[in-house]
Structure 1
Amino acid sequence: MKKKSQMIREIEDVNDTVPAFSNHILRHVLLPELLGKEEEMILYWAGKALYRKLASSQALLEDKASFFSAAAWGELELIKEKRTELHYELLSPKMEKGRPFTLEAGFLSEWTEVETGCTTEATYEVVKKDPCTCRITVKWDPKDQVNLD
């Protein structure tokens, strides 16, 4: 398994060599075209699947805010924690107005599901358009346990 510092360096190298324009074309032009009206639902489940794919890389997934920053998804901050809810604020200046945050919501949902052992659901609400800021709420029911085997 790679050490955290080595993985972070590799991510930073990718961020330095892959132009933001490439990410912009994929996220804001190609995905809406390919996914059409099902885009939000597909991105939510893609976010959950992406977390599962990366879960074996503990060094990469130690801290949510660091991961979001490394993935160029924006600045994530936990703003409120309740017994069965987490409330995040995501400042994402590279996100275009009107674009969905369901990929990020699905990713946080799965991460929380693994942490809590309960089925989770995440929703988002855009609260500011410039720079683009959204609130993501992750909820779970302690009675609804999942089998994580």
Structure 2
Amino acid sequence: MRLAQFFAIIAIMDLIGDITAIRIPLPQPGDVMPQELYPEAREEAEQAREQYAFALEAQHDELQEDPLLIALGNARAAREAADREIRHLLAYGREFHGERPYKLESLAQASGMTPSGIRTAYGNSEIDTVARGIGRNPDSRRAQPPATTEPS
């Protein structure tokens, strides 16, 4: 192994270590209550760091891509998944909760959105996904297809 390759590997490992420390901070004394659980919480965080660093290194080796760009892509994917989950939960609260759907104000407060944003946060595809997931049709009249009249 040439010296330049060795230093490149060390630089990547340092980068992965830094990203891991950002992604999984270690708890500090006083962060964990009761305090006697602190050693266990720290050990769990250290194990999570090892697993994350190993996975990030494996992704780097497989993709031959910068670990920071991989971590950012993973964080973006997690954010998109969380946004999708919020849309599904909002659809459930408004469309699948009987005659009295959750109020816009309480959903807005819990989701960090505005009441008007709740109305447009989800659509038919989210309603369909929730219906498939819970195995029933929406209760809300807003989500029901318009009634068709039979020809006489």
Could you state the TM-score of these two structures normalised by the residue count of structure 1? 0.25
Q: Looking at secondary structure, tell me which structure has more strand per residue.
A: 1
- Structure possessing the higher radius of gyration over alpha carbons: 2
Could you state the TM-score of these two structures normalised by the residue count of structure 2? 0.24
Q: Looking at secondary structure, tell me which structure has more helix per residue.
A: 2
Structure with more contact order per residue of length (Cα contacts < 8 Å, sep ≥ 6): 1
